[in-house]
Amino acid sequence: MKNFLIILIMKILNFILKILGKKGGNFLGKLAYDWNDEIFKYFKISCPVIAVTATNGKTMTNNAIGFLFKEAGKKVISNIEGNNMETGILSTLLKNCSLTGKINADFLVFEVDEGYIPILFKDLRLDTLVILNFFRDQLDRNGEVESLILKINEFLKTYNGNLVLNSDDPNVSRLAKANPENKNIYYFSVDKYKFATKEIKEAGEGKFCPFCNSKLDYDYYQYSHIGKFKCPNCKYGNNSIFKIAKNVNLENKSFEVDGINYKTKFNSIYNIYNFTAVISVVSLYDIDTNIIQKALEKFQLNNGRMEELIIKDCKTIINLAKNPTGSNVSLRILNEDNDEKELLFVLNDNLADGKDVSWIWDINFDELKNVSRIVTSGSRAYDIAIRIKTSGYDDNKIFPHLNLDEAVKDLYSTNSKKYVIANYTALQPTRKEILSLK
C-alpha cells in the first residue's frame, strides 16, 4: 500500500512538473527513495535489464544501445538524459510504471554511475552489465580508481548474468574472474589502429597485474592504458574475444565486426570501443545485423558529446571532457584532423567537477597540430592557460578569459575551424553561449 501511495504521489508530482515544463532529473527518485529505500523491490519487470557503466562513454553507449533496440521496433525505457545514480534511475522507473509498479517495455537500458552499481542492483534484477573502462576521474570526489573497481568486483562475486567487458582494459577484464562460476562472459576488443603507440602517450591506470602485481607488458596502446596487454608472469590478458572491431578507418568513420562493415557519425578510436560494446550487447538479444548497420549509421547525440555545429560559418566541434582521458581523446581527434583550427578549453572547479584541477597536467598538449590560437575560460581559465604554456605552446597565442561570454566572442573573432573542450559543469553554459551566436 505504501509503495502504491508513493508511486501515485510521484505520478501526480510528475504531472505538475510536466505542466511547469520541467524535466525533474533526480527529483522524483530522491523523494521516493528517501521515503522507502526498498522501493526497487516493488517494480514488476519482466523484460531484460541492461546496464552500462564506465568512467567515460556511458551516455554514448547507453543511448546507442537504446537507439538500436528502438530501430529494431522494440519498446525501450532508458535514462537517456544521463541521470545515472540510483535516484535518477528510480525517477525513470516511476515515470514509466503503472500504479502497481508494472513496467511495460521490451528492454530497460540504463547508464549507471560506477559507484552505484552495487546499490542499484541490490534490489533490481540485472541481466546484462557492460563495463567499458576505468580511468582516474575527480580523485578528490571519487577516491582512487582501485577502490571503485573493488566495490564492483565485490558485487560481481554473486552475479551470474551477462558480463560484457572491454578486453583491452586490464582493470575491466579482470572483473571476469570475480565469479568463477559465471560462464556468461563476453569480451569485446578493437584491432590495433593507425595511431596506436608502442609507449603510453597519456596517463593511465593499468600498470601492474591485478592478480600477481607484475608489471604488465603491452604490445601497443590504443589510447591511455587501453591496448593489447599481457602479464609476463601469470599470463593474465589472454581472453577469448566475443566481438572484435577490425579495419578501423577514422577518415570514413567505419569499422568491421564479423566481416560486416559499420559506418558511424563518430571518428575516434574511443567511440569504436563504445560501438563494439553496443554491437556485442544487441547481438546477445538477436538483433539483425542489417538493422544494427542502418541504426548505427544514423545514431547521433546532440548534447555536447562530439557535437558538430556550424556557428558564424565556422565548423565547430564540442566535446565534454571531465577527466584526463576524455580530454586526451578530444585532443587526439583534433590532432588527427589536418585542418587549421582554434581551441577553446573551458575549465571549472565546481563541486560536481571536482575542486582539484591538477588532472589537467595529465592531458597531453605536446605537439598540437595546426592549432593557431587557444582561448581558455571557466573558473580556472588561468590554470589551464599555464598548463598549455608549459607544454611549449607559444604563450602569445593563448588568451585566458574568466568570463565565458568574452571567451566565446574572442573565439569567434576569427573564421577558422573551432574545437571546444569543456568539463562537466562548463559544458552546457559553453554550448549555450556558442549556440547564442548561431
Which residues would be at the binding site for other proteins (CB under 8 A)?
136, 139-140, 144-146, 203, 207-208, 213, 215, 355-362, 382-383, 385-387, 389-392, 395, 398, 400, 402
Closest to other proteins by CB, 129 vs 375, is 375
Give the shortest CB-397-to-other proteins separation in angstroms: 13
Query: Cell 608489471 appears where?
Result: 215
Q: Could you tell me which residues are beta bridge partners of residue 254?
A: 249, 263
Given a contact cutoff of 8 angstroms between Cβ atoms, the answer to whether 317 and 335 are in contact is: no
Nearest to 203 by CA among 361, 412, 25: 361
DSSP 97: B
Closest to other proteins by CB, 225 vs 243, is 225
Helix (H, G, I), strand (E, B) or coil at 162: strand
Given a contact cutoff of 8 angstroms between Cβ atoms, the answer to whether 109 and 61 are in contact is: no
Given a contact cutoff of 8 angstroms between Cβ atoms, the answer to whether 287 and 107 are in contact is: no
Give the shortest CB-152-to-other proteins separation in angstroms: 16
Give the shortest CB-335-to-other proteins separation in angstroms: 19
Give the shortest CB-330-to-other proteins separation in angstroms: 18
The grid coordinates listed for 30 are 530522491
Q: Which amino acid is at 160?
A: N
Give the shortest CB-358-to-other proteins separation in angstroms: 4
Give the shortest CB-421-to-other proteins separation in angstroms: 17
Give the shortest CB-382-to-other proteins separation in angstroms: 3
352, 358, 360, 364 alpha-carbon torsion, rounded to 10° = -150
Residues 6+ apart with CB under 8 A from 416: 314, 340, 341, 342, 372
The grid coordinates listed for 347 are 575549465
Closest to other proteins by CB, 306 vs 329, is 329
Q: Which amino acid is at 81?
A: E
Closest to other proteins by CB, 209 vs 245, is 209
Closest to other proteins by CB, 317 vs 398, is 398
Closest to other proteins by CB, 148 vs 309, is 148
Give the shortest CB-239-to-other proteins separation in angstroms: 23
Closest to other proteins by CB, 340 vs 366, is 366
Quote the CA–CA distance of 437 and 26 in Å, as a whole number: 31
Question: Which run of H or E residues covers position 400?
Answer: strand 398-400
Query: Cell 545515472 appears where?
Result: 84
Residues 6+ apart with CB under 8 A from 114: 53, 54, 55, 134, 142, 148, 152
Closest to other proteins by CB, 100 vs 390, is 390
Closest to other proteins by CB, 144 vs 154, is 144
Give the shortest CB-33-to-other proteins separation in angstroms: 21
Given a contact cutoff of 8 angstroms between Cβ atoms, the answer to whether 194 and 248 are in contact is: yes
Closest to other proteins by CB, 390 vs 414, is 390
Q: Which amino acid is at 119?
A: I
DSSP track, 44-60: EE-S-EEEEE-SS-HHH
Q: Are strands 260-263 and 254-257 parallel, antiparallel or unpaired?
A: antiparallel
Given a contact cutoff of 8 angstroms between Cβ atoms, the answer to whether 270 and 47 are in contact is: no
Helix (H, G, I), strand (E, B) or coil at 308: strand
Give the shortest CB-325-to-other proteins separation in angstroms: 13
Give the shortest CB-235-to-other proteins separation in angstroms: 19
Closest to other proteins by CB, 261 vs 358, is 358
